[in-house]
Amino acid sequence: MRVVLLGFGGKPGVLEGADRLRPVIGQYAEIVAEDFTGTRPLTDLEADLAIVLGGDGSILRAARQMGYHQVPVVAVNLGRLGFLADLTPEELPQLLQQAAAGRVQIREHLMFECRLFRRGREVGCLLGLNETAVLAGPPFALLEIELYIDGELVTTYSCDGLIISTPVGSTAHSLSAGGPILRKELQAFVISPISPHTLTNRPVVDGADRVYEMVVPQPQKGTALVVDGQVVDSLQPGDKVRVERAPVRFRLVQPPGHSYYRTLREKLGWGGRWHPGRPKGIASDQ
């Protein structure tokens, strides 16, 4: 196998982890490239796997680097939470052995394109994995954001911001804003207002085949467009932000023995009273 080794060298423990894991990786694969700056374009790189060291931020950075040439990702958690990065360094040898034998599962996840239009002209296009957000910014007054779906005005939010998230991103910024958890394989977007000024505004889930647009008629000085945690641009009056399904998907290698609900339990403390010693499928009668 040919693999590329990625991570952000500015994060504590990543470079040390790479030094420790290189000999392990070398037993099963050839490392054809490395990047620990997060800046090298990888769209023309020929590799079978991308081994990403770090946390979920490192995975988002790697997805941006790969662009429209998404290579299956093995996500090794060297960070704290690691919702996407769900593999421990100790589990990596077994996974590589199974990958070399062609016995791993690869899950494909929705990605999106975010386009910014100004005075009727497209001035930017970005590929994303988690979410697009319009954030009020200073002076931190309520922002009026118009939401359109397939060209139809849905509503105008009075809020601190609006998030359009993929299922992968539903456990990130959107969850913190009160949005629902979506299973990562779903083909849908969730729209979550941040601190809406009415009790009737609730998160909405709709299909991935629709076109979503946000318009801010009167942005504030600090109002910004943010994609996957990166500030794209400050918004001007009448700017239109369009979000739609990308033609490529993020590809994540599923570690053996890991599952979606196990991740929710262990990473997010989800599920309340879970008893690890109880047989699977047996409910409590307490």
Domain definitions of the chain by residue range: 2-103+256-268, 111-247
Residues 6+ apart with CB under 8 A from 191: 147, 162, 163, 164, 165, 203, 204, 205, 206, 212
**pLDDT for res 276:** 54
Pairing, β 188-194 against β 73-77: unpaired
**pLDDT for res 37:** 93
Which segments of the chain have a pLDDT < 50? 274, 281-286
Task: Please pick, among 19, 35, 56, 233, the residue that the annotation labels catalytic.
Answer: 56
Task: Reply yes or no on whether 285 is catalytic.
Answer: no
Digit-coded pLDDT (tens) for 152-203: 999 999 999 999 999 999 999 999 999 999 999 999 999 999 999 887 888 9
Say if 2-103+256-268 and 111-247 have the same CATH topology: no
**pLDDT for res 112:** 98
CATH code at 111-247: 2.60.200.30
Q: Which fold has domain 2-103+256-268?
A: Rossmann fold (3.40.50)
**pLDDT for res 286:** 34
Structure tokens that stand for 206 in this block: 């709709």
pTM of the shown model:
0.89
**pLDDT for res 81:** 64
**pLDDT for res 182:** 94
